[in-house]
Amino acid sequence: MVVAALGYYLYYNTYFGMDSTRRVQSRAEEVVQSAYFMCQVTERLLQKRANDLIVAMEEAASMLGEPSLGPGRQNWEVRSPEDGQTRNVSLAPLRLYHQSSETRELSTLVTLIMRRTGGEITVLQNLNQRGDQVKVFCTLDSISGPQQVTTLVPGQLPGGQPDIFLEPLSRGEVVIRPELVHGRLYLSIYRPLREGRKTIGSLVLHVKDQNLDRLRENLLQLNVGRTGYVFALKATGAQRGHYAISSGGLRDGEDIWRATDAAGRPIIRSLINQALNLNPHKKRISVPIAFERYPWKNPGEVHARYKTSAITYFEPWDWAIGAGYYEDEF
């Protein structure tokens, strides 16, 4: 009883002894740390499931053969995600080649993997030395051949920096991450397609996962005050600045990279840069967190209000995780 009373006394005097600004910041800090640890636990659960799925993918490939570049060329109409413009590109067809010298259509491998895993499949084919890829097969988008307009997956950002997510694939490494596809989070496993020592593309397995669904629901329930909420943004790569988790889940997948605050400052870029620049070895708390204060004006509001966001970086998924709240609500 004495220990409990002492603990309560210390907590009361520490927490309520803070000024109101620091108390709210402390609450936001706790919420962001909770979100981080939820992601950490889910990441471990996803890794276990992914290991079983990778085995199923490898067994299917050993039965039917690995994709390789066949003779001839196929013309594709490819749309750029940056400006929406389309252009024609010519690619060697992807075929399956088995040790028995037998060749099969790529769709046979896709069908077998889907049957064994219950997932969806995307096949990306390398286009050039820059690391650009073309979506040549996708069951989620009903792409199965050159007769459909397809999508370019850029290997570099608009400024010319490489997409760090794609680099492990070029080295032949498997990449595992949650990915928002058509408004739903999937567990995505990127398996590089190798012809000899050369990476010619990627086979991507997308599976629904109850752990991801549960995580999303739990994150949506976290709050700071009356309207403060948790959000997660892709931090790097072609989808940087896209919502992975938004307020109420209403804007998931939306690109807000160019959003500015009421003063015209690129606030999303600033938040993401702060998250990426955090150094966990220089922080006293287990999860390093930065704060950003900025004026924000919602549609329909007459005046801007000051908002504060706490932000951190969850490297395994390349998520900038934050919690934002309006100061005038406290």
Cα(237)–Cα(321) distance, rounded to whole angstroms? Answer: 16
Tell me what pLDDT residue 32 has. 96
Q: Is a pLDDT exceeding 80 seen at residue 51?
A: yes
Burial environment of residue 142 by CB neighbours within 10 A (0 to 12, 13 to 18, 19 or more) = exposed
Cα(20)–Cα(32) distance, rounded to whole angstroms? Answer: 19
Section 223-229 average pLDDT: 91
Q: How many CA atoms lie within 13 A of 182 on its CB side?
A: 8
Contact present, 302 and 7 (Cβ < 8 Å): no
Q: pLDDT, tens digit, for every residue of 272-296?
A: 999 999 976 555 557 999 999 999 9
Q: pLDDT, tens digit, for every residue of 69-119?
A: 988 999 999 998 877 889 999 999 998 887 777 788 889 999 999 999 999
Q: pLDDT, tens digit, for every residue of 204-218?
A: 999 999 999 999 999
Whole-structure pTM value: 0.85
Least trusted range by pLDDT, from 139-153, 163-177, 264-278, 301-315: 163-177
- The first and second tokens of residue 277, run together, are 């620049």
- The first and second tokens of residue 294, run together, are 């900025």
Q: Which residue bears the tokens 């889940």?
A: 249
| Torsion-angle region of 168 (φ positive above 0: left; ψ -120 to 50: alpha; else: beta) | alpha
Q: What are phi and psi of 162, to 5 degrees?
A: -70, 150
Q: Is a pLDDT exceeding 60 seen at residue 28?
A: yes
pLDDT category, 20, cuts 50, 70, 90? confident
| Paired residues of 133 in beta bridges | 126, 153
